[in-house]
Structure 1
Amino acid sequence: MDPITHVVIGAGIYALSGGDLSLAQPTFLGCVAGSLIPDIDIVAKVRNDYYYLKHHRGSSHSLGGIIFLSIIVTAATALLYGGIDFLPVFAWAFAGAFMHVFLDIMNSYGAQILWPLSRKKYSFSLLGIFDVIVLVLGVAAILFGRGMMGVKAAIVAAFCLYILALGIMRALAWRRISSYFKGRVEQSSIKVLPSPAGFLVWDFIIMSQRHSTVGKVHLAGKKVVIVSRLRRLQDKEKEKFMDNRAAYFFREFTPFYHVRVKKNKDFTKVVYTDLRYRLKNGFKHHATAVFNSSGALVECIFHPFSIKRRVRF
């Protein structure tokens, strides 16, 4: 999620507890700082986008990571305020960090919550990077969270019902897509993702034996739109191009990638494309591995956010 939403939700859960939303309260500062601290991995962006995206939502978003970072927040708060009660500040810092990770695993990018035991990014694919309803509920918690118990319960219930509604919408989208492609693809190959267009429109990716199909489904009109249909390399052909830095990175970066080969007499270019995030005329993230005529790897290039951007690694 975006930083503003994380801060608003952090302040909102503190308000729901009845606490005073004042920087004079170390517990409040701890909660707000905790709601931002998992994104400390953004410092990797100073090096380059490849390094940042490779490590984003890794160790700092794991359960062990947020415990460690909550201790850091508590220690920093103690230095700022002088003598504080360690446990309440730590608990609120952890609550803020936990909500940060919870929201992040709700979207399709996911987070490595079990790092270092597993580098898998867990994701429920329900929320986009920005969700206006989540933000509005966070603001409501800040404004009315210290009111009557019934108001607090209504805000919490509204959030839970919204997440449940998204889950139902996603299931309906999957069912509609499955019906549309019935008999043509394995049902287990259909992946439904949140769309920037809202909860009545969902994106989907289908990884079949021959093609990678990317599209969207409109629940209101029960309309399925195929945006892109890409021919997949056969396994034997694909295996030749999966033993290089670009391939290793993309296998870890996304579970949904497409491999395309361009050949001429001097070079072979292998382009790896993340199918989760689309731009107007293509996809957001790519990587390229370049091989010479002898089959030796010449260079690897990451194209973050646009095929026109080039970061060698």
Structure 2
Amino acid sequence: MDTGTHVVMGLALGGLATLDPVVANSSITAASVMVGTIIGSQIPDIDTILKLKNNASYIRNHRGVTHSIPAVILWPLLITGVIYLFFPETNLFHLWLWTFIAVFLHVFVDIFNAYGTQALRPFSSRWVALGMINTFDPFIFAMHVFGLFLWIFGMDPGYTFLVIYCILFIYYILRYFAKKSVEAKVQKLIPDATEIIISPTMKYNQWRIAIKNKDSFFVGRALRGQVRIVDQFKRVPIPKTPIFNAATKDKNISAFLSFSPVYRWEIETIENIVEIRFIDLRYRSNEYYPFVAVAHLDKDLTIINSYTGWIFSEEKLKKKLDIITN
């Protein structure tokens, strides 16, 4: 989920924790638990700092080791230890318990996004992405904000958020069946599909779709239960040529290829420069594919410049690649 949603979830868990008698009967424990749930709801995303290094490091590592099984165990211990230094009179076990719930819930809800996490590490490095909930879901965020307002105006926070989380549980079930319905319609439309990737959007009834079969990639969308194919590309393996071998060793290209399951490639010569572009097919928006990886090579197969990330216009991409256009 996005940072804002994780923040309100941390606050909500602090309110929910008041149902715990040990927390409810101790103002010090309640204060320390609130701090623990807020930090615990954020800490797995500490790897966002990798953006300051470069996009390749961020794409390759975000939601990786910081969302793994060892991290879910270690983060609560670390956070509890630090908070205990400032709240030595708190109940240590209950501080750890609610901090653990916050960390676990962060990783758990991220699994339902299209991006997913490597939550099964170290047992498996595969990405777990159920693709049911958008990274920012307006309904989920609004329900948390609504609960916080009720708390401010005097409602019991424990029971308020207990009811809200019961509603959200039902919401997740509805999203599961909505996705399964879209998947069934895609399977009927393309019976020989070997892989179907369905990504939610911020709109409840709208989904992005990327499909593979033996020979082609299909890009589609579902809107109010109707599935439509909007693009089709022939599946062409990456050529085993010196220029592609050189390009795929670049950090930006290799990061993209490690992350993207459905992509196509293009090659073009611009004066004396060869441009190789890889295009992720999952995120089509306004007839444009914004998630790309691009490398420029000279005649000696040396990488001149490269980039991977989200770009919504060719002009911005040129600026990223430091191309001066006349």
Above 0.5 in TM-score?
yes
Query: Which residue is equivalent to 1:230?
Result: 233
Query: Which residue is equivalent to 2:208?
Result: 203
Separation in structure 1 between the aligned mates of residue 213 and residue 132 of structure 2, nearest angstrom: 23
Instruction: Check if 1:53 corresponds to 2:55.
Output: no
Secondary structure of 2:295's counterpart equals strand
Query: Which residue is equivalent to 1:217?
Result: 222
Instruction: Check if 1:62 corresponds to 2:68.
Output: yes
Separation in structure 2 between the aligned mates of residue 255 and residue 235 of structure 1, nearest angstrom: 13
1:49–1:311: 8 Å Cα contact kept in structure 2? no
Separation in structure 1 between the aligned mates of residue 141 and residue 9 of structure 2, nearest angstrom: 7
Query: Which residue is equivalent to 2:280?
Result: 274
Instruction: Check if 1:162 corresponds to 2:171.
Output: yes
Amino acid at match of 1:155: I
Query: Which residue is equivalent to 2:81?
Result: 75
Query: Which residue is equivalent to 1:96?
Result: 102
Instruction: Check if 1:249 corresponds to 2:252.
Output: no
CA RMSD of aligned residues (A): 3.0
1:281-292 matches, within 5 Å, as 281-292=287-298
- Gaps in structure 2 of 5+ consecutive residues: none
Secondary structure of 1:156's counterpart equals helix
Distance change in 2, residues 1:39/1:113 (3 Å): same
Amino acid at match of 1:181: I
2:57–2:255: 8 Å Cα contact kept in structure 1? no
Secondary structure of 1:269's counterpart equals strand
Separation in structure 1 between the aligned mates of residue 162 and residue 89 of structure 2, nearest angstrom: 34
After TM superposition, give the deviation of residue 77 of structure 1 in Å: 1.1
Instruction: Check if 1:2 corresponds to 2:11.
Output: no
Greater displacement, 131-140 / 76-85: 76-85
Separation in structure 1 between the aligned mates of residue 161 and residue 90 of structure 2, nearest angstrom: 28
Query: Which residue is equivalent to 2:156?
Result: 146
Q: Deviations over 1:174-231 (max 9, x none)?
A: 122222234xxx23322211123x12111100123433222201134x25251x3333
Query: Which residue is equivalent to 1:303?
Result: 308
Separation in structure 2 between the aligned mates of residue 304 and residue 148 of structure 1, nearest angstrom: 41
Greater displacement, 132-141 / 53-62: 132-141
1:195–1:202: 8 Å Cα contact kept in structure 2? yes
Separation in structure 2 between the aligned mates of residue 190 and residue 121 of structure 1, nearest angstrom: 15
Separation in structure 2 between the aligned mates of residue 279 and residue 239 of structure 1, nearest angstrom: 33
Separation in structure 2 between the aligned mates of residue 160 and residue 238 of structure 1, nearest angstrom: 51
Distance change in 2, residues 1:234/1:39 (3 Å): closer
Separation in structure 1 between the aligned mates of residue 175 and residue 134 of structure 2, nearest angstrom: 11
Within the candidate set 151, 175, 181, 2:190 is matched to 181
Separation in structure 2 between the aligned mates of residue 114 and residue 300 of structure 1, nearest angstrom: 35
Amino acid at match of 2:222: V
After TM superposition, give the deviation of residue 96 of structure 1 in Å: 0.9
Secondary structure of 2:218's counterpart equals strand
- In percent, how many aligned pairs have the same letter? 23
Greater displacement, 297-306 / 186-195: 297-306
- TM-score normalised over the length of structure 2: 0.81
Amino acid at match of 1:55: N
1:140–1:155: 8 Å Cα contact kept in structure 2? no
